[in-house]
């Protein structure tokens, strides 16, 4: 399981569903948050390519893996 603050690169598999801070090339875009889903690959940025980084802010269980929902 990932820890808060862990950093990931495009192409790596999302280790835990949750909210991730996206850090782009400083000349392209400001930091922002996105939702990423366990098991999917982190994508490259259309502008920064593989220089973008994803930092786990808040982990969350995806509803499809929660025992109270089908």
| Beta strands, E only, the chain | 7-8, 18-23, 32-36, 53-59
Domain annotation covers residue 20:
yes
* Amino acid 1: pLDDT: 73
Domain for residue 1, yes or no?
no
Q: What is the pLDDT of residues 52-69, one digit of tens each?
A: 999 999 999 989 889 999
pLDDT at position 59 is: 95
- By residue range, what is the domain housing residue 50? 7-62
**What is the domain count for the chain?**
1
Confirm whether 67 is domain-assigned.
no
Share of the chain above pLDDT 70, in %: 100
Residue 18 lies in a domain: yes
Asked if residue 31 is part of any domain, the answer here is: yes
Residue 20 has pLDDT above 80, yes or no: yes
Within a domain: residue 13?
yes
pTM for this structure?
0.90
Residue 22 falls within a domain, yes or no?
A: yes
């Amino acid at each position: 399981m990932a820890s808060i603050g862990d950093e990931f690169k495009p192409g790596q598999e999302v280790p835990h569903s949750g909210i991730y801070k996206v850090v782009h090339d400083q000349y392209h875009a400001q930091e922002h948050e996105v939702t990423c889903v366990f098991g999917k690959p982190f994508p490259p940025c259309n502008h920064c390519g593989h220089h973008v980084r994803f930092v786990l802010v808040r982990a969350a269980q995806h509803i499809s893996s929660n025992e109270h929902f089908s």
